[in-house]
């Protein structure tokens, strides 16, 4: 007969405990369900955050573009004069040109004015053009707003500037000469529409409202989110 030592008697009274196979399977299933719930919640929060961030980006970009356009419009037609009252480069005969796109996107605008640097004592006459053209990239085809600054005078500085991208995902740009006869260029109205860089699950119908300036009739029904902006700018140099 096998002899049991005194030190082994406690082990026989309290055998080693553990989880059964059923308990392990139940715990695994519960953990998987909880993890799946967390992933779904995270995905929803992440999508909502991305949507809010994209819409915020659209609003910020639209506001920035309008401020740039307003600044150049307010300078339109400014002809710098010397201390003796002489216009340095002569009168500006066509201070603003607007190309109407009809019922489509997008209108085009060119303005001319003199830039004077008081500190450097220099003056040049610039021609600034804004237009939208189609661009195709990794995020699909969309409109891009471009700006080009050409120097018309003085002769040593005459040059054609590069085409610079001002904003992406442009849906519409309408520029309206809203001044009264005989000076319709005294007041310019602008309408700008941008969209987000990606689509979202729920489609939203977009139709440009009639109270906005311009004559385009663009409508969409897709998952993009859009921001619309408008402003009116009085061209002070053309009201004299």
Could you tell me how far CA 238 lies from the centroid of its own chain?
A: 30
Cα atoms in the Cβ-side hemisphere of radius 13 Å centred on 100 = 9
The total of other beta-carbon atoms located within 10 Å of residue 146's CB is 19
- Split at pLDDT 50, 70, 90, the class of 37 is confident
Whether the CB-CB separation of 51 and 43 falls below 8 Å is answered with no
Q: What is the mean pLDDT of residues 171-186?
A: 93
Whether the CB-CB separation of 229 and 171 falls below 8 Å is answered with no
pLDDT at position 43, please?
66
Q: Is the pLDDT of residue 124 over 80?
A: yes
* Angstrom distance (rounded) from CA 15 to CA 131: 84
Q: Is the pLDDT of residue 62 over 90?
A: yes
- Split at pLDDT 50, 70, 90, the class of 29 is confident
- Split at pLDDT 50, 70, 90, the class of 165 is very high
Q: What is the mean pLDDT of residues 61-74?
A: 96
Q: Is the pLDDT of residue 5 over 60?
A: no
Q: What is the mean pLDDT of residues 151-163?
A: 96
pLDDT tens column, 69-110 = 999 999 999 999 998 999 999 999 999 999 999 988 999 999
pLDDT at position 30, please?
79
Q: Tell me the percentage of the chain whose pLDDT exceeds 90.
A: 62
For 13, 188, 208, the CA distances from 99, given in Å and listed in that order, are: 97, 13, 20
Q: Is the pLDDT of residue 120 over 60?
A: yes
For 23, 36, 56, 112, the CA distances from 30, given in Å and listed in that order, are: 11, 10, 39, 71
Tokens of 204: 């939203």
* Angstrom distance (rounded) from CA 185 to CA 176: 9
Q: What is the mean pLDDT of residues 36-61?
A: 77
Q: Tell me the percentage of the chain whose pLDDT exceeds 70.
A: 88
Whether the CB-CB separation of 146 and 108 falls below 8 Å is answered with no
Q: What is the mean pLDDT of the chain?
A: 88
Whether the CB-CB separation of 138 and 163 falls below 8 Å is answered with no
* Angstrom distance (rounded) from CA 12 to CA 181: 109
pLDDT tens column, 211-229 = 899 999 888 999 999 999 9
> What values do phi and psi take at 223, rounded to 5?
-90, 0
């Amino acid at each position: 007969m096998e002899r049991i030592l005194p030190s082994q008697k406690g082990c026989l009274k309290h055998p080693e405990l553990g989880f059964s196979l059923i308990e392990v399977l139940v715990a695994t299933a519960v953990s998987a369900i909880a993890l799946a719930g967390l992933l779904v919640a995270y995905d929803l929060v992440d999508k909502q955050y991305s949507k809010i961030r994209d819409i915020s980006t659209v609003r910020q970009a639209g506001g920035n573009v309008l401020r740039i356009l307003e600044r150049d419009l307010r300078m339109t037609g400014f002809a710098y004069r010397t201390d003796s009252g002489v216009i340095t480069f002569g009168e500006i005969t066509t201070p603003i040109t607007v190309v109407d796109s009809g019922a489509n996107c997008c209108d085009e605008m060119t303005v001319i004015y003199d830039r004077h640097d008081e500190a450097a004592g220099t003056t040049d006459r610039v021609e600034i053009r804004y237009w939208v053209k189609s661009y195709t990239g990794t995020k699909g085809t969309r409109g891009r707003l471009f700006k080009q600054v050409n120097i018309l005078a003085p002769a040593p500085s005459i040059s054609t500037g590069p085409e610079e991208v001002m904003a992406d995902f442009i849906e519409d740009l309408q520029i309206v000469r809203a001044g009264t006869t005989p000076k319709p260029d005294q007041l310019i109205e602008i309408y700008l529409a941008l969209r987000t860089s990606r689509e979202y699950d729920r489609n939203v119908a977009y139709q440009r409202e009639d109270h906005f300036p311009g004559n385009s009739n663009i409508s969409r029904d897709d998952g993009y989110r859009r921001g619309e902006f408008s402003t009116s700018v009085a061209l002070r140099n053309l009201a004299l």
